[in-house]
Structure 1
């Protein structure tokens, strides 16, 4: 058996492990939520289906398979509907006017760079690229400015809610974490759609931040078993990010700009 063949078998087994683990986490989370009073079953199941599409999307992305944008489109579209239905207009606008169009841009960009449905040896047909020093500087500056701006906006919104008596206090650390995760997600989507290897550093940060958030919830006993399931879910996402970084480091070394 050749080294390439062994690598493909390992990657297939690892992908099955990741998908199975994340699907189990999504299923258990959905079951927990179905037990809550007043739950709207159709919308919950729709959101759960979107989560499943998101699981497949992340694994496809790690492997450089262009179908990631098909599953990503379904995931984002469902998320758009769910946010609109719940009146969460900020996330609705972000999904409808940013994440949704980026699926088409990503499909177009990956097609130009040779991505296929059946990508063979760990996405070997995709010509992944790397950021230059100047691009790194622009990315870091954009992330810093974006986090600072969003933090101030969210702080103002919560301050207004506090003044109106709608909330008891303003949690600045949570606001900062929300701003960090949101801006990193935006930056990661840009890098993903343009086939940059460095997206995986961003996704690692996003997943580590989410693990930290849910670990605190588990330690404090908030959300009971649901918090533990979410923690496990993001551990699997972190493992997928590590696998994606491994594959894309190889892709970006083999392929020139």
Structure 2
């Protein structure tokens, strides 16, 4: 009975997934597992990458359960980043992303919506940003990037410019995610591009073998593009639903 119930739960979990979403997950998971054996990647890197992919895809779908995978991904990624001297990434994930998972879980539950298309009943209400909000966000990112780069330089970090930019942009994107703004995905796209460059440069310079993280950020990039498309579609659908009430 326990096995049957667990199987039924897994089926419901994937029931509202599109073919693209399933294919995306299978392809990038397969690449990660291949690299783990072919390039002798670390097990921790593999775990961080796989849980990260589940997390971001569930965010793109507007599912609250993304935060459970995020708890694992942020803690493992923080440790890996620290070992490579990427202190900005380590602090971002360990001191900001990890505790924010619990806050996000609470806030998204408070703003969840129930509808007939939501198998798990955990879809979140989506918002869009104004021009004024964009202006404040851009100013904050520029100022934060410059100041944080100075701090990273002082403590002896590597690639401080890229490290600072990815950190500050990630903080801004995470705040927009907590507030459920669809435009978070435009910032995540930029974060993912910069993070791919950051890890390629770092692994090449250090001789490290955690290339699963490069695959993870590449997967995140594809997911961010899809996430923006899907969240805009969700926003329009929810607006129409409000108008018809």
TM-score bin, normalised by smaller chain: 0.7 to 0.9
Distance 1:64 1:10, change over 3 A: closer
Note the C-alpha offset of 1:192.
Answer: 1.4
Bigger mean CA offset, 178-187 vs 87-96: 87-96
Is residue 2:189 matched to residue 1:204?
yes
Find 1:96's aligned residue among 80, 94, 109.
Answer: 94
Distance 1:27 1:223, change over 3 A: farther
On the 8 A contact 2:51/2:73 being kept in 1, the answer is: yes
Partner of 1:58 in structure 2?
56
Number of matched pairs? 226
3-state SS, counterpart of residue 18 of structure 2: helix
* TM norm structure 2: 0.74
User: Could you tell me how far apart the structure 1 residues matched to 2:91 and 2:217 are?
Assistant: 25
Partner of 2:167 in structure 1?
182
Find 1:254's aligned residue among 220, 230, 237.
Answer: 237
Note the C-alpha offset of 1:205.
Answer: 0.7
Note the C-alpha offset of 1:83.
Answer: 5.7
Distance 1:57 1:230, change over 3 A: closer
On the 8 A contact 2:89/2:163 being kept in 1, the answer is: no
After superposition, the C-alpha distances for 1:26-59 in whole angstroms (9 at most, x for unaligned) are: 2234335537xxxxxxxx3234223211110011
Partner of 1:143 in structure 2?
141
User: Could you tell me how far apart the structure 2 residues matched to 1:103 and 1:125 are?
Assistant: 17
On the 8 A contact 2:126/2:231 being kept in 1, the answer is: yes
* TM norm structure 1: 0.71
Distance 1:146 1:124, change over 3 A: same
Find 2:37's aligned residue among 26, 31, 34.
Answer: 31
User: Could you tell me how far apart the structure 2 residues matched to 1:11 and 1:91 are?
Assistant: 31
User: Could you tell me how far apart the structure 1 residues matched to 2:218 and 2:229 are?
Assistant: 17
On the 8 A contact 2:52/2:70 being kept in 1, the answer is: yes
Provide the aligned C-alpha RMSD in A: 3.9
On the 8 A contact 2:64/2:123 being kept in 1, the answer is: no
1:13-52 matched pairs, under 5 angstroms: 13-32=19-38, 34=40, 44-52=42-50
Residue ranges of structure 1 left out of the alignment (5+ in a row):
1-7, 36-43, 162-170
